[in-house]
């Protein structure tokens, strides 16, 4: 997270929050804070034949990702005893071959971590010469399916924290993003806060909207959110948290909910979306899973099923995480993900979303913080969005209905680590697209917070639906292409102490 204090137009000061400590670095203020970088769409949760429930070659998944508009992707096959061996021996050469064939696509080595006593998570490794070895060594030590080995910790919440600390100590730093966090209720608010504290540079958020968004096209619950409270679920979550809300996780869609409680502490905790692509919902190919036990990969057969029970889109076909990065360099993409300079969109509802806060000559963008010299200053939130002009991959021309500006107070670290609400958070204003100010292909909006006396954050929500608030997904027949939502990460405004 970056902090830009209100100063003159020649110079501002950039603060980076690392574990609650501030480091200073000068930066010049640009007239347009989004004028010097690039927007890049990506997906950090993709499976291949090296997952026991996967199907496709790495090359195939990368090809589909590029064909569906992505510039970066992460191969995150499931961790476990077979994967830590074959990620190095068999899978990694295929990843390198994909990089060679698709030089314009940034491909990261990753892992879907079976987090001890919790859900899954994407681990994203910076591109280094030993990236595959790093992944294998990590999962041997800390993957829930591996921890029965004598040289690993017990399967406990403490083991997960140790795993995050292990990642935090790696240089260059990887990323850990919790996947489908509310699906089974296993990620307690205590655990999430513990991860954030243990790995302030690596534990950076959770999926705001899980993959498996094609599930309702084959008659299954959206996002594969089909569970209910079980013995390993945190008991404080309500029953409605086990369902998606217009395709998004309850942690995010519930205004004033768990995500807002983390933001209200001032935590650098961000959201993404991804495909969780295993097998395309139209694919009838039968897969031989027995070869996974001996070869670390499944084997497609020539046999066809009568009906598909696959629940996934291709990478980028429906879910996109758009990052605003300094460049298309892999390290710059990771920096953007780490800093929250990104938004999550379904069905190509938006392909640009620029959120910034200004006070006087100072400006801060999404994922950064505007520091006010004194109480009583006015702060203006500027919003620019762009709706794609061509039809999406569902064959539909998208129409934006409205954008919601959501804001909540930043009150500091909570004494109660079970807290899952922020009662100060609310929809401050709804902007109808039909009355927006137009700037070429862009729609622009603005809102001014007068006489600011309390630190706060602002985030955005957009949709093609005429709905005042998200609703719980109860139908297994909804067409996801007709129900599109987009969420931004926050910009924060802090009063100097």
Domain spanning 39-319 has what CATH number? 3.20.20
Render pLDDT for 373-390 as a digit per residue (tens, 0 to 9): 999 999 999 999 999 999
Total Cβ atoms within 10 A of residue 239: 10
Nearest to 480 by CA among 458, 495, 463: 463
The pLDDT of residue 29:
43
Render pLDDT for 425-468 as a digit per residue (tens, 0 to 9): 999 999 999 999 998 899 999 999 999 999 999 999 999 999 99
Q: If DSSP codes are grouped into helix, strand and coil, which group holds residue 494?
A: strand
> How far apart (Å, rounded) are the C-alpha atoms in residues 114 and 237?
21
Calculate the average pLDDT of the chain. Answer: 92
- The mean pLDDT value for 26-45 works out to 80
The pLDDT of residue 149:
55
Total Cβ atoms within 10 A of residue 323: 25
- Binning pLDDT at 50, 70 and 90, where does residue 8 land? very low
Q: If DSSP codes are grouped into helix, strand and coil, which group holds residue 347?
A: coil
DSSP class per residue in 62-109: HHHHHHTT-SEEEE-PBPSTTHHHHIIIIIHHHHHHHHHH-TTSEEEE
The pLDDT of residue 27:
34
User: At 134, which helix (H) or strand (E)?
Assistant: helix 131-142
pLDDT at 24 over 60: no
> How far apart (Å, rounded) are the C-alpha atoms in residues 187 and 210?
15
Three-state secondary structure along 370-399? EEECCCCEEEEEEEEEECCCCCCCCCCCCC
Global pTM reads 0.93
The pLDDT of residue 444:
97
pLDDT at 16 over 50: no
The pLDDT of residue 10:
33
- Binning pLDDT at 50, 70 and 90, where does residue 153 land? low
The pLDDT of residue 430:
97
Render pLDDT for 278-336 as a digit per residue (tens, 0 to 9): 999 999 999 999 999 999 999 999 999 999 999 999 999 999 999 999 999 999 999 99
Domain ranges of the chain: 39-319
Helix spans in 75-115 (H): 83-86, 92-101
> How far apart (Å, rounded) are the C-alpha atoms in residues 414 and 204?
18
Residue 23, both tokens: 């480091």
Render pLDDT for 251-277 as a digit per residue (tens, 0 to 9): 999 999 999 999 999 999 999 999 999
Pairing of β 485-488 and β 342-346: antiparallel
């Amino acid at each position: 997270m970056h902090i830009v204090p209100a100063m003159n137009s020649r110079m501002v000061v950039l603060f980076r929050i690392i574990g609650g400590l501030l480091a200073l670095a000068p930066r010049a203020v640009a007239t347009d804070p989004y004028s010097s970088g690039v927007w890049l769409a990506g997906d950090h949760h993709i499976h291949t034949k090296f997952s026991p429930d996967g199907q496709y070659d790495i090359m195939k998944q990368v090809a589909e990702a590029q064909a569906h508009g992505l510039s970066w992707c992460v191969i995150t096959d499931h961790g476990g005893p077979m994967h830590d061996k074959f990620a190095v021996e068999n899978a990694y050469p295929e990843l390198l071959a994909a990089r060679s064939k698709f030089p314009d696509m940034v491909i990261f080595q990753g892992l879907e971590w079976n987090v001890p006593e919790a859900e899954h998570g994407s681990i994203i490794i910076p591109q280094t010469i030993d990236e595959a070895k790093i992944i294998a060594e990590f999962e041997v030590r800390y993957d829930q399916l591996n921890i029965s080995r004598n040289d690993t910790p017990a399967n406990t919440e403490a083991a997960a924290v140790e795993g995050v600390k292990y990642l935090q100590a790696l240089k260059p730093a990887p990323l850990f993003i919790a996947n489908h966090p509310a699906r089974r209720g296993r990620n307690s608010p205590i655990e999430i806060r513990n991860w954030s504290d243990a790995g302030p540079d690596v534990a950076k958020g959770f999926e705001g909207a899980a993959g498996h968004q094609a599930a309702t096209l084959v008659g299954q619950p959206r996002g594969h959110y089909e569970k209910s409270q079980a013995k390993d679920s945190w008991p404080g979550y309500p029953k409605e948290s086990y369902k998606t809300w217009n395709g998004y996780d309850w942690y995010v869609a519930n205004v004033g909910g768990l995500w807002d409680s983390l933001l209200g502490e001032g935590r650098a905790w961000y959201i993404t979306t991804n495909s969780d692509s295993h097998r395309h919902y139209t694919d009838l190919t039968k897969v031989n899973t027995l070869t996974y036990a001996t070869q670390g990969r499944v084997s497609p057969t020539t046999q066809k099923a009568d009906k598909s029970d696959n629940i996934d889109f291709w990478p980028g076909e429906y879910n996109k995480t758009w990052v605003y990065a300094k460049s298309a360099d892999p390290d710059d993409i990771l920096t953007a993900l780490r800093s929250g300079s990104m938004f999550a969109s379904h069905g190509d509802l938006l392909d640009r979303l620029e959120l910034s806060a200004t006070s006087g000559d100072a400006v801060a963008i999404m994922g950064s913080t505007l520091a006010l010299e004194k109480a009583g200053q006015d702060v203006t939130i500027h919003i620019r969005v762009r709706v794609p002009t061509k039809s999406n991959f569902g064959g539909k021309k998208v129409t934006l209905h409205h954008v919601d500006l959501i804001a909540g107070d930043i009150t500091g670290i909570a004494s109660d680590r079970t807290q899952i609400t922020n009662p100060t958070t609310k929809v401050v204003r709804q902007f109808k697209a039909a009355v927006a100010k137009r700037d070429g292909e862009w729609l622009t909006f603005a809102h001014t917070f007068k006489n600011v006396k309390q630190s706060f954050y602002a985030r955005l929500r957009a949709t093609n639906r005429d709905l005042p608030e998200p609703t719980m997904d109860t139908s297994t027949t909804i067409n996801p292409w007709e129900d599109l939502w987009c969420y931004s990460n926050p910009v924060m405004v802090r009063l100097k102490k």
